[in-house]
Amino acid sequence: MKTQVCIIGGGPSGLLLSQLLDLRGIDTIVLEKHSREHVLSRIRAGVLEHGFAELMREAQCGERMDREGEIHHGFFIAHDGIMERVDLSGHTGGNSVVVYGQTELTRDLYEARAARGGKVIHHADDVKLHDLTSSPHVTYRSGDDVVRIDCDFIIGADGFHGVSRKSIPAGVLREYEKLYPFGWLGVLSRTKPVSPELIYARHERGFALCSLRSQVLSRYYIQVPLTQTVDEWSDDDFWAELKRRLPAEIGVRMQTGPSIEKSIAPLRSFVAEPMRYGKLFLAGDSAHIVPPTGARGLNSAASDIYYLYHAMTDHYKKGDDQGLDNYSARALARVWKAQRFSWWMTMMLHTFPDSIAYDRKLQETDLAYLFSSENALSSLAENYVGLPF
């Protein structure tokens, strides 16, 4: 087989790029290791930056997002028994975020690809990348057959555990990583969300987050030690712990119910540099991971796709390779800002098992300063709604 751009990974990054390039007449094949049902069973992000929402509209995939997604103009930080609001719109000249689940967004992208006859190959086993600096091609196994795809470019959009980043020779890549000594236990439940806006809660027992997918679907998280497993948490234990970490007035009005999904995600910060090697371009979680506290992960993936979409279009339509040549530097400049923001939110709001009294005083002061300074609130807000691409 032959295509112009071979995309490894049928998650949101890969599908969005495939759709955008197709609309510009550029041919792509997407290779996805798992089934569509499997990809859609992963409950992940919920908060989309304004710029990402625009990109979904440009990809002609924004209709359901605009109908069913919720525009949020602010969120709360709960601490020491009180709630303080961050007015995102007031601090960014009217900007906001869209609360719309990654599952729904990915479903919309799959449907859009299918409607345009896009080639998305599922169950692509044993994907291998070849000749990245000369005549790139990709092979994969389909049953007993090995299939070869020749292409101009390969996009590594296969997530943190994918094969693309690992195909770059040792010595070329530099990896930066920070692991946090805890994870987030997440629960999805068919209950009315406790608050119309998100609540990020700092508590000595550990961080908690109240989020939502719709007015009848709640998404809650609590910080847990990495040694714990999902089986150790009954639904009742989860609700009791979540309530303990929230101001009393919130806890008493919390609607509880059976969990329809429960999982633990470890928290990690990670960046691989550069994001280009020869004809291979990394995008999204394959090149960088953030702890979810700042809601940046999927949004950083979207900014990579924005840069790649324009760079590929300039290459094919104008013969201009400047965007491709600058891709890694341009994407990384924004990626590192998302890293800084996510690290800062994580450090301010979580309980660290090895913290000393001095660290905890600084955390308290970070919060006190935030809510006493319009400049600090503006800085938080401009990062949360998304820095310009």
The residue ranges that bind ligand RFL (CB under 6 A) are 8-14, 31-34, 39, 44-47, 102, 124, 127, 157-159, 161-163, 184, 186, 265, 284-285, 292, 295-299, 301
Pick 50 or 122: Cβ nearer ligand PHB? 50
Residue with tokens 């309530």: 243
Binding pattern for the stretch 206-235 against ligand PHB, x by CB under 6 A and - elsewhere: -----x-------x----------------
- Decide if residue 14 touches ligand PHB (CB under 6 A): no
Residue 341's alpha-carbon distances to 269, 296, 385, in angstroms, are 11, 9, 12
DSSP for 58-104? HTT--HHHHHHSEEE-EEEEEETTEEEEEEHHHHTTS--EEE--HHH
Among 3, 103, 259, 293, binds ligand PHB (CB under 6 A): 293
Residue 50's alpha-carbon distances to 95, 99, 238, in angstroms, are 7, 10, 32
Residue 86's alpha-carbon distances to 52, 80, 197, 343, 347, in angstroms, are 21, 16, 10, 18, 18
- Decide if residue 295 touches ligand PHB (CB under 6 A): yes
Kindly state the smallest distance separating residue 32's Cβ from ligand RFL, in Å: 5
Pick 224 or 298: Cβ nearer ligand RFL? 298
- Decide if residue 74 touches ligand PHB (CB under 6 A): no
Is residue 212 within 8 A of residue 68, CB to CB? The reply is no
CB neighbourhood size of 189 (10 A): 22
Number of residues that bind ligand PHB (CB under 6 A): 9
What does DSSP assign to residue 256?
Answer: -
Site for ligand PHB in 23-52 (CB under 6 A): 45-47
Q: Of 10-18, 104-112, 291-299, 326-334, which segment contacts ligand PHB by CB under 6 A?
A: 291-299
Contact footprint for ligand PHB (CB under 6 A): 45-47, 198, 211, 219, 292-293, 295
